[in-house]
Amino acid sequence: MKAPPMATSAATRGWGKAPAPRSSIVTLRRADGLALPVHTDIASLVAWLCDETERRGYDLNPAWCWGYAPRKVRGSKTVWSNHAWGLAIDLNAPANPLTENGKVVSDMPAWVPQLWKSYGFGWGGDYPGARKDPMHFEFLGTKADAARFTLQTKTARPALKLGSIGEAVKLLQARLNAHGAKLKVDGLFGPKTHDVVRWFQGTKGLVIDGIVGPRTWKALG
């Protein structure tokens, strides 16, 4: 999918009038205190991307991450922000501030915006001109695109290890159970899952390191 330009109206992509009604907004809540209000049709996608972002090593500060806000684009009295549809989020805002001098000030590794862009989001650090907003990510697709990207996350197979969490771990646990294990499918890669992974690797002649990489995923089927 070729995404439309950043900051285009979500109404042109089938998301209705702004601001979106509160009934279409859901707040993602995590044990660490993160409370991120987003449109219900991208909620699962955003939840997975937040988990994947942290799993890969970039920590999200719950107090610095924002979502739905029924407001106009900064500096405009007529153009609605994609925040007003619940389609935009800001990550670690103080560490990734808005600038007006053409410079991107960000503590994000380069893979963070690349990850989000690969699932249909635009990044404020790519804004043309002098204004750069690296905290800002906005979904640039349609509702059908959101459903497609969400489905991709459910079959994604990232590298997993002790301490990993999320949907990919549930998939791993289910596949291990299909090979004779008796794990609880809870999405938590704890010591029991680690031991079963090592057992499985041993039965397949793989390197026994407890890390689920491409070869282990392939063996799992």
Please give the mean pLDDT across all residues of the chain: 92
Whole-structure pTM value: 0.72
Domain 10-154, CATH: 3.30.1380
Q: Give the mean pLDDT of 74-96.
A: 94
Report the distance separating Cα 69 and Cα 52, nearest Å. Answer: 24
Q: Give the mean pLDDT of 176-204.
A: 95
pLDDT attached to residue 3: 41
Report the distance separating Cα 199 and Cα 129, nearest Å. Answer: 55
Report the distance separating Cα 5 and Cα 86, nearest Å. Answer: 18
Residue 139's identity, in one-letter code, is F
CA 140 from centroid of its chain's CA atoms: 14
pLDDT tens string 44-76: 999 999 998 997 889 999 999 999 999 998 888
pLDDT attached to residue 163: 93
Tell the residue number behind the tokens 């994604």, with chain if given: 156
Per-residue pLDDT band at 2 (split at 50, 70, 90): very low
**Residue 120 CB coordination number (10 Å):** 22
Report the distance separating Cα 129 and Cα 138, nearest Å. Answer: 18
Domains of the chain, by residue range, sit at 10-154, 157-220
pLDDT attached to residue 70: 94
Phi, psi dihedral angles at 24 (to 5 degrees): -100, 5
pLDDT attached to residue 213: 85
pLDDT tens string 141-153: 999 999 999 998 8
**Residue 28 CB coordination number (10 Å):** 17
pLDDT attached to residue 62: 96
Report the distance separating Cα 82 and Cα 73, nearest Å. Answer: 8
pLDDT attached to residue 155: 72
What is the percentage of the chain residues whose pLDDT exceeds 70?
96
Domain 157-220, CATH: 1.10.101.10
pLDDT tens string 109-167: 999 999 999 999 999 999 999 999 999 999 999 999 999 999 988 777 788 999 998 88
Report the distance separating Cα 79 and Cα 9, nearest Å. Answer: 8
pLDDT attached to residue 116: 96
Report the distance separating Cα 6 and Cα 146, nearest Å. Answer: 16
- Which structure tokens are listed for 84? 């007003």
